[in-house]
Amino acid sequence: MRTSLNRPINRAMGPALFAVITALFLAEARPAMAQINFITSLGGYGSGNGQFNDPTGIALDADNDVWVVDSGNNRIEEFNPQGVFMRSVGQSGYGNGYLSYPNGIAVDASGDVWVVDDGNRRVEEFSGTGNFLSTFNTVGSGQPTGIAIGGGNTLAQIIHGVSDSARN
């Protein structure tokens, strides 16, 4: 079965080349931006467990669990490889472990989850079980827009299109 996605916004590749694509589905019909072989879907619109309101980022961990940034609900959600909801991490707010319009995500080799907290202009680190670990403010005065983990667990953040090495 083939399906099309409107405005795919992010993808993640796991160790077994398991591809996941997130997309914003608009209420209005638009020409397809990409063709994929449909495997499964995650969630739907809403604020309950396993639902999304503006998904803006996605990452896979070493176990092929899928982590999705749910920006509109100020949280991230984890699903197992079969698409079953496992946990929600974070909630709306400004203190440690709280999120305000998160928009990027990466998982490091240790299984820790790094989240770009755009509204709070910082990056937060959570354990693979969802516990808050640390936070650091972004470099300069810009808002963070993305994050990536490189070799040796080097963390890079993207601020208004400029990459800054932030932590090693």
Domains of the chain, earliest start first: 2-167 (2.120.10.30)
Mean pLDDT of 14-28: 37
Q: What single-letter DSSP state applies at residue 60? A: E
CB atoms inside a 10 Å sphere around CB 121: 16
Predicted pLDDT of residue 91: 92
In angstroms, the Cα distances linking 107 to 13, 30, 134, 162 are 12, 32, 14, 21
Residue 37 parent element (H or E): strand 34-37
Is residue 81 within 8 Å of 93, Cβ to Cβ? no
For residues 138 and 9, which has the higher predicted lDDT (pLDDT)? 138
* Beta strands in 61-154, from DSSP E residues, in sequence order: 66-70, 75-79, 85-89, 102-107, 113-117, 122-126, 132-137, 144-149
Q: What is the pLDDT of residues 132-164, one digit of tens each?
A: 999 987 656 567 777 888 766 665 655 444 444
6-15 as b/e: b if 16+ CB within 10 A: eeebbebebe
For residues 46 and 22, which has the higher predicted lDDT (pLDDT)? 46
Mean pLDDT value across the chain: 74
Q: What is the pLDDT of residues 99-119, one digit of tens each?
A: 999 988 999 989 999 999 988
Spatial distance between the Cα atoms of 164 and 29, rounded to a whole number of angstroms: 38
pTM score of the predicted model: 0.73
Spatial distance between the Cα atoms of 145 and 152, rounded to a whole number of angstroms: 22
In angstroms, the Cα distances linking 78 to 2, 51, 90 are 26, 11, 12
